[in-house]
Structure 1
Amino acid sequence: MKLLASLILAAASLAASLAHAEGYPSRPIRLVVPFPAGGATDIFARALSQKVGDRLGQPIVVDNKPGAGGAIGSDQAAKAQPDGYTLLLATTSTHSIGPLLAARLPYDAVRDFTPIAHVGDAPSIMLVPNSSPAKTVKEWVDHARKNPGKLNYASSGNGTVVHLTAEYFKAQAGLFLVHIPYKGTALAIPDLVSGKVDVLFDSLPSGLPHVKEGRLRALGITSLKRSPLLPDLPPVSDTIPGFESVTWFGVYGPKGLPADIAAKVNAAFNFALQDAEVKDRLARLGIEPVGGTPQQFAAMLEKDRAKWRKIVTDRRITAD
Structure 2
Amino acid sequence: MKGYQRFGTALLSFILALTVSACGAAGEKERQTVPDYPTRQIEYVVPYSAGGGVDLVARATADYLSKEWGQPILVVNKPGGGGAIGAEYALKQVKPDGYTALAVNVSNTTMLTAGMTNPPITNEDQVYTSRIGQGTLAFAVKADAPWNDFAEFSAWVKEHPEELTWTSVGPAGFSAFGVAEWLDVIGADFSKTRMIVTKGGSDSLPKVAGGHAVLAVHMIGEVMPMLQAGKIKILAVSGTQRSTFLPDVPTAEEQGIKGLSVSWWTGVSFAKDTPQHVIEKWDGAIAKMVQDPVFLKHLETIQVEPAYADRTVFLQEVTRETEYYTDLATKNQMRK
TM-score bracket, normalised by the shorter chain, equals 0.7 to 0.9
Matched with 1:243 is 260
The alpha-carbon deviation at position 168 of structure 1 amounts to 0.6
- The residue that corresponds to 1:189 in the other structure is 209
| 1:158–1:317 contact (8 Å) kept in structure 2 | no
Residues 18 and 316 (structure 1 numbering): CA distance in 2 closer, same or farther, change over 3 Å?
farther
CA deviation vs aligned residue, 1:227-275 (integer Å, no higher than 9, x gap)? 3331222332444444122222121122133444322211111222222
Q: TM-score, normalised by structure 1?
A: 0.79
Give the counterpart of 2:293 among 247, 260, 276: 276
The answer as to whether partners of 2:143 and 2:233 remain within 8 angstroms in 1 is: yes
1:180 corresponds to which residue?
194
**One-letter amino acid of the structure 2 residue matched with residue 315 of structure 1:** N
Tell me the CA shift for residue 118 of structure 1. 0.7
CA contact (8 A) 2:208 2:232 kept: no
| Residues 36, 64 of structure 1: 8 Å contact kept | yes
CA deviation digits over 1:250-303, x for unaligned, max 9? Answer: 211221334443222111112222222322222222222211211111111112
Give the AA of the match of 2:167. Answer: S
SS at match of 1:88: strand
Residues 218 and 116 of structure 1: is their aligned pair in 2 closer, same or farther, counting only changes over 3 Å? same
Structure 1 residue 130, shift from structure 2 partner: 5.8
Quick one: structure 1 residues 157 and 260, their matched pair in 2 at CA, closer, same or farther if it must change by over 3 Å? closer
- Of residues 209, 221, 229 in structure 2, which corresponds to 1:205? 221
- Quickly say closer, same or farther: Cα 1:242–1:65, change in 2 above 3 A: same
- Map 1:212-291 to 2 at 5 A: 212-238=228-254, 239-291=256-308
- How far residue 94 of structure 1 moved from its aligned partner, in angstroms, is 1.5
Shift of 1:220: 1.4
Gaps of 5+ in 2: 1-23, 199-203
**Unmatched segments (≥5 aa) in structure 1:** 1-10
Contact kept, 8 Å, 2:114 with 2:323, in 1: the verdict is no
How far 1:191 moved relative to its partner? 2.5
Instruction: Work out the CA distance in 2 between the residues paired with 1:125 and 1:209.
Output: 13
1:32-181 matches, cutoff 5 A: 32-79=45-92, 80-102=94-116, 104-107=118-121, 109-128=122-141, 135-141=148-154, 147=159, 149=161, 152-156=164-168, 159=171, 160-176=173-189, 178-181=192-195
Find the aligned partners of 2:277 and 2:78 in 1 and give their Cα distance: 27
Residues 150 and 45 (structure 1), Cα distance of their counterparts in 2 relative to 1, 3 Å cut: closer
Greater Cα shift, 90-99 or 111-120:
90-99
Superposition CA RMSD, Å: 3.3
User: How many corresponding residue pairs?
Assistant: 304
* Identical positions, percent: 24
Change (3 A) 1:257 1:17: farther
Find the structure with the greater CA-based Rg: 2
TM-score with structure 2 setting the length: 0.76
Instruction: Pick closer, same or farther for the CA change 1:232–1:254 going to 2, 3 Å.
Output: same
The 2-side partners of 1:35 and 1:118 are apart by: 18
Shift of 1:167: 1.1
Instruction: Give the 3 Å change call, closer, same or farther, for CA 148–62 of structure 1 in structure 2.
Output: closer
Does structure 1 retain, via aligned residues, the 8 Å contact 2:175–2:217?
yes
Aligned position for 1:4: none
Cα pair 2:226 2:232 within 8 Å, conserved: yes
Q: Work out the CA distance in 1 between the residues paired with 2:267 and 2:87.
A: 12
Change (3 A) 1:180 1:65: closer
